[in-house]
Structures are given as structure tokens and as C-alpha cells.
Amino acid sequence: MGTVLRALAVGLFTLSAFFIFYTVRLFVVTGGLLHTRAGGQGAYIGAIVFPLLALIFAWAGVRCWNRGGRAGGPAA
């Protein structure tokens, strides 16, 4: 079971890294949200949601990694 949780943790860390990248990309493309196009309110939503998703996936990844414990042994 520990190996499965560790593999899940790696997947969650990957998702977290993706949303960190996408948050940075959003701020670079929009010049820190100063240059959004008309009707581009989605950029403001993304500026809130993407970092939150990154934090949630990272938190879940840490939880899974810690619960995975040592491969083949009980979780600490």
C-alpha cells in the first residue's frame, strides 16, 4: 500500500507543479494582471484558483507521501 500512496503523491506533486507553472505563466502573459484583454475576467479567477489548486495538490501529496511510509513497512 505504501508504494501506491507514494506513486499517488508523485502524481499530486506533478499536478501541483503544473498549476505553479500556469500561475507564473498567467502573471507573465498578463503583465501582473495589468494587461488583460476586454472580457478577460477569467485571468482574475485563474489568479485565485490556480495557486489554490497548487497548494491543495501539494498538501495532498505531502499527506500521501508521509502515509506511504517506507516501502513494505507500516506507515509511521
pLDDT digits (tens, 9 = 90+) for 41-60: 888 888 999 999 999 999 99
pLDDT at site 73: 52
Measured in whole angstroms, how far is the alpha carbon of residue 24 from the centre of its chain?
A: 12
pTM here is 0.81
> Which residues have CB under 8 Å from 5's CB, separation 6+?
64, 65, 67, 68
Chain segment 1-26, per-residue pLDDT in tens: 789 999 999 999 999 999 999 999 99
Largest CA distance in the chain: 56
C-alpha cell at 9: 503523491
Q: Where are the domains of the chain?
A: 2-68
Q: Could you give the residue ranges of the DSSP H alpha helices within 1-76?
A: 2-29, 42-68
